[in-house]
Amino acid sequence: MLTRKQHELICFISDRLNETGVSPSFEEMKEALDLKSKSGVHRLISALEEREFIRRLPNRARALEVLRMPERGETRKPAPRKEPALLSTSSTSAPPRAANDVVEIPLHGRIAAGTPIEALEGSTMLPVPAALLGAGEHYALEVAGDSMVEAGILDGDYALIRRTEIARDGEIVVALIDDTEATLKYFRKEGAMVRLDPANRAYDAQRYRPDQVRVQGKLAGLLRRY
């Protein structure tokens, strides 16, 4: 059920919890697994969480709990990715430190830059309060423009995006149009078409064939600097 790296990570977390009662930091996990960036650690943790090997409190970055260990020989290619579920969790391994806990997620540039999200991999990391994120893998985009101001999303804000290729009507998504232009809009289905709605009455809705639009994530939170 697990890849080699997933197996190595859960063993490392379990050993550290047994030794100290506190789960390792993302930097420690990155170094232990010889990964190039912390985003790789986030992906591994999300995969282990989805497969219910570990769980974490949504407002504490280092509150990881091992639910079960893989059985001997249980190391192979992972099953197809499914939508992560938010878990109701509790932990007594450490006292709450929500006010100070942060995680780092990839910052992939400006949402109106017209560049596919995949081409922006390897960019800088953005520290984010862990309380703003739930389960799953996340990245951040800097908002450019005023097309979503009536949804409270302003120019210069950082949109926190949970990676997914599935969206429901009315959700705010990152949509990649014709594999060239990324945009943050409300997602809606209109007959045989996909409609991307702005949150600004000065702008018109955009309509596309389903094959022209790829959902790359949906809005999970917003970060604003003053």
Which residues does 42 contact at the CB level (< 8 Å), separation at least 6? Answer: 26, 103, 105, 137, 138
Residue 45, classed as helix, strand or coil, is: helix
User: For the chain, what's the residue count?
Assistant: 226
> How many other CB atoms are there within 10 angstroms of residue 171's CB atom?
14
Tell me which residue of 176, 174, 180, 119 sits closest to 143, measured CA to CA: 174
Rounded to whole angstroms, the Cα distance separating 113 from 105 reads 19
Catalytic status, residue 147: yes
Rounded to whole angstroms, the Cα distance separating 103 from 149 reads 27
Catalytic residue, from 30, 38, 185, 218: name it: 185
From start to end of 143-212, where are the E strands? 158-162, 172-177, 181-190, 193-197, 206-208
Please identify every residue annotated as catalytic: 147, 185
